[in-house]
Chain A
Amino acid sequence: MAVKVIIPTPLRPYAGKQESIELQAGSVAEALVALTTRFSELKKHLYSDDGRLRSFVNIYVNDEDIRYLQKEKTSLREGDTVSIVPSIAGGSHIA
């Protein structure tokens, strides 16, 4: 299935500075594998060392949180939009 993955601002530096990526995937897991294969730097931002999705990163298929669907096994249909929504604290402080 051709799906669109929307990359949030904080993660764009690790995804070739792109706003969204079109890729082929039948499930959320496949989409994330395809994404992190293409952009290996994204991996540590999406997954913890034990290979689980980080708890400050939520994944949505269209407007629904995958935690309330079939999690990463959630299947995707042609034209679905997958959104990565990390927590942002806000502010403009610089290190």
Chain B
Amino acid sequence: MATKTGIPTTPMAGTPAVTLSNEEVLRYSRHLIMPEVGMEGQLKLKAAKVLCIGTGGLGAPLGVYLAAAGVGRIGLVDFDTVDLTNLQRQILFSTSDVGRPKIEAAADRLRGLNPDIQIDTFETRLTSENALELFKDYDLIVDGTDNFPTRYLVNDTCILLGKQNVYGSIFRFEGQVTVFGAPGGPCYRCLYPEPPPPGLVPSCAEGGVLGVLPGIVGSIQAAETLKLIIGKGEPLIGRLLLFDALAMRFRELKLRKNPECPACGAHPTVTSLIDYAEFCGIRGEEAPALQTTVPEIAPRELKARLDRGDDLFILDVREPHEYQICNLGGYLIPLGDLSRRASELDRSREIVAHCRSGKRSAEAVEFLHKAGFRKVLNLKGGILAWSDEVDPSVPKY
């Protein structure tokens, strides 16, 4: 078969003709020999410009597959640095990348994978101030972020600019994927007009994620992105794909465009970008005020008092599986069971409650005070601070 190089892409107004070199023909041959992609699709991929928000768990497989597939220009937005806890799932990074800016490590990896494509790096937090400017040069946006304010910011920016948003999100072992912002299709606000209040967002007791889950969800996002670019198949527009890795089950729900949607409805009220932290009820980055209103004890002070032989009852309010990771020898009553099991505690003794970071135990202390316990203190900073300030042999997680 004759080498089909030098064939210009399907004419698109204002787009320069794109061609493949012989080496690129070989690189993409497994695409080229499939009629669904073919030379036409591959040239569309080369001409495409995709912006990936986040280079973490979802962004990793996404970036890798888009780069490998020959998407001509990939923008990466992230402000974070690689840490050891990322490596359990963020497969763009190596152990030697710990401490490096994610964007730098990601760009190196993707350029190494495919030197023929352009990688744009934006080492910045996505904000209402920079989003429109960042998005405007790209055809498609892929949302691989991990928080509600950025989700709404990405959605609203896409709607304002008329761009499609390949959405994926994960929780523990469950994922959701869809395509928002397609012409006539729904947006994120059609699905969820408002975010949950911060108090109802799961905390560490329910956190965590199966490492492979973002790999699967991010790969589905990559597949949808490639399909949208080449214009083949049935995109996840108006369909919400739910995936449960534990049950290993996919389900699909109908997702409708809300005619009264504040962002994409007939009479939108979201006409410019807003303060998304405020929209999501988050003011500043501090933990809830609760933490500072309960009486506390610093780790070093606790150590000193224990060494002195003071009669202190250590109450651990974490989950049993966390106790197995590390513990201070405390009595375990998970926060969720405390109201039911408070009778197990001796009111006459002085109690020091702790958790991982001090947040759940602050709730426990508040609860116990209300329940009439007089002498209850919260271990400030939890096990993390204990490990930092008293006993580094206690692992942090």
Seen from chain A, the residues whose Cβ lies within 8 Å of a Cβ on chain B are: 8-10, 13, 19, 44-45, 54-56, 58, 60, 63-65, 67-68, 83, 85-95
In the complex, the answer to whether A87 meets B148 with C-beta atoms within 8 Å is: yes
In the complex, the answer to whether A55 meets B192 with C-beta atoms within 8 Å is: yes
In the complex, the answer to whether A89 meets B151 with C-beta atoms within 8 Å is: yes
In the complex, the answer to whether A9 meets B336 with C-beta atoms within 8 Å is: no
21 contacts between A and B (CB under 8 A): A9-B171, A9-B174, A10-B171, A58-B191, A83-B242, A87-B191, A87-B195, A87-B196, A88-B169, A88-B171, A89-B201, A90-B170, A90-B171, A90-B214, A91-B56, A91-B57, A91-B147, A91-B209, A92-B207, A94-B203, A95-B357
In the complex, the answer to whether B171 meets A56 with C-beta atoms within 8 Å is: no
CB distance from B95 to the nearest CB of A (A): 18
In the complex, the answer to whether B58 meets A10 with C-beta atoms within 8 Å is: no
Residues 145-178 of chain B: 1 if any A CB is under 8 Å from the residue's CB, otherwise 0? Answer: 1111001000000000000000011111110100
In Å, the complex CA distance between A68 and B207 comes to: 32
In the complex, the answer to whether A92 meets B336 with C-beta atoms within 8 Å is: no
A93 and chain B: residue at smallest CB distance: B146
In the complex, the answer to whether A95 meets B204 with C-beta atoms within 8 Å is: yes
Q: Which of A45, A60, A90, A93 contacts B253 (CB 8 A)?
A: A60
In Å, the complex CA distance between A87 and B56 comes to: 19
Q: Which of B173, B192, B287, B359 contacts A9 (CB 8 A)?
A: B173
In the complex, the answer to whether B174 meets A92 with C-beta atoms within 8 Å is: no
In this complex, the interface size class of chain B, counting residues with CB under 8 Å from chain A, is 35 or more
In the complex, the answer to whether B357 meets A89 with C-beta atoms within 8 Å is: no
CB distance from A44 to the nearest CB of B (A): 7
In Å, the complex CA distance between A27 and B220 comes to: 34
Q: Which of A19, A90, A93 contacts B58 (CB 8 A)?
A: A90
Q: Which 9 pairs, one residue from A and one from B, show the smallest C-beta to C-beta distance?
A: A91-B146, A92-B209, A90-B169, A94-B204, A94-B207, A88-B171, A95-B203, A9-B174, A87-B192
Determine the chain B residues whose CB is within 8 A of the CB of A67 once the complex forms.
Answer: 258
Residues 244-274 of chain B: 1 if any A CB is under 8 Å from the residue's CB, otherwise 0? Answer: 1011000111111010000000000000000
Q: Which of B170, B203, B357, B360 contacts A88 (CB 8 A)?
A: B170
List CB contacts (< 8 Å) of B167-200 with chain A: 168-174, 176, 191-196, 200
Determine the chain A residues whose CB is within 8 A of the CB of B207 once the complex forms.
Answer: 92-95
Seen from chain B, the residues whose Cβ lies within 8 Å of a Cβ on chain A are: 56-58, 89, 145-148, 151, 168-174, 176, 191-196, 200-209, 214, 240, 242, 244, 246-247, 251-256, 258, 287, 336, 356-357, 359-360
In Å, the complex CA distance between A86 and B172 comes to: 14
In the complex, the answer to whether B256 meets A65 with C-beta atoms within 8 Å is: yes
In the complex, the answer to whether A56 meets B192 with C-beta atoms within 8 Å is: yes
Determine the chain A residues whose CB is within 8 A of the CB of B208 once the complex forms.
Answer: 92, 94
In the complex, the answer to whether B254 meets A65 with C-beta atoms within 8 Å is: yes
Determine the chain B residues whose CB is within 8 A of the CB of A55 once the complex forms.
Answer: 192-194
In the complex, the answer to whether A8 meets B174 with C-beta atoms within 8 Å is: yes
Determine the chain B residues whose CB is within 8 A of the CB of A44 once the complex forms.
Answer: 200
B168 and chain A: residue at smallest CB distance: A90
Determine the chain A residues whose CB is within 8 A of the CB of B359 once the complex forms.
Answer: 95
B54 and chain A: residue at smallest CB distance: A91
CB distance from A31 to the nearest CB of B (A): 17
In the complex, the answer to whether A13 meets B205 with C-beta atoms within 8 Å is: yes
When A65-B253, A86-B196 are in contact, do A10 and B169 touch as well, CB less than 8 Å? no
When A56-B194, A93-B207 are in contact, do A9 and B172 touch as well, CB less than 8 Å? yes
Q: Which of B240, B247, B287 contacts A85 (CB 8 A)?
A: B240
A8 and chain B: residue at smallest CB distance: B174
